[in-house]
Amino acid sequence: MDDLTGTETTRTPGLRDWLVARIAEHLRMSPADVAADVPLSTYGLDSVYALTVAADIEDRLGVTVDPTVLWDNPTVDALCRAVDEAVAGAAAR
């Protein structure tokens, strides 16, 4: 039930829903319309805004991610994988 739109689960509870809700709110879309495998720039997510998503992730999850995490992982699926890895990496330290 963690996943509203995607097919993969995340290790971080609620991560996918939170990310999708956040991006949907910014884009004035319904979360249900944000496909997990479509580059978010297709929906009009601009590159400068995308840089600030990294800070939101950091403040919510307490992990450090690169500002360009969304540039390098431009879909919901890819972003969830990258953030999961960052969380797992932080936990392992």
Partner 1 sequence: MTTAHVTAAAPAPASLPARLDALAAVLGDADDPANPLGDRAVLDADERGEMLTAGEEALHAFGLNAEFVPAYLGGRLTRLDHLVDVMRAVYRRDPCLGLGYGASSFIAGVNVWTAGDDTQRRAAAALLGAGGRIAVAYHELAHGNDMTRTEFTALPAGGRLLLDGRKEVITNVRRADALVLFARTSTAPGSRSHSQLYAEKTDLAADRTAYLPRYRTTGMRGVQLGGVRFDACPLPAGSVLGAPGRGLETALRSFQITRTTLVSMSAGIVDSALETTLRHVRARRLYGRTAADLPHVRSVVTGVFSDLLAADCFATVGTRALHLLPAETAIHAQAVKFFVSQALLDAMNRLSGVLGAAFYLREGPAARFQKLLRDIQPVGFGHAARAACQVSLLPQLPLLARRAWREGHAAPSALFAPGEELPPLDFGALALSAAGRESLGTSLAAGLAAMPDGQGPAYRLLRRYGEHFVRELTRLGEDCAALDPAELSVTASPYAYDLTSRYVGVLVAASCFETWRRARHSGTPFLSDPHWAAAALYRLSTPRGAPPRTLPAPLEDALWERLSERHRTGGGYLLLPRSPHHHPVGTPGRQQ
Interatomic CA distance for residues 5 and 43, integer angstroms: 15
Binding mask 60-89 for partner 1 (x = CB under 8 A): -------xx--xx-x---------------
Least CB distance from residue 52 to partner 1, whole Å?
A: 4
Map residues 17-56 to x or -, x wherever contact with partner 1 holds by CB under 8 A: -----x--xxxx----------x-xx-x-xxxxxxx-xxx
32 secondary structure, DSSP code? G
CB half-sphere exposure, 31, CA atoms < 13 A: 12
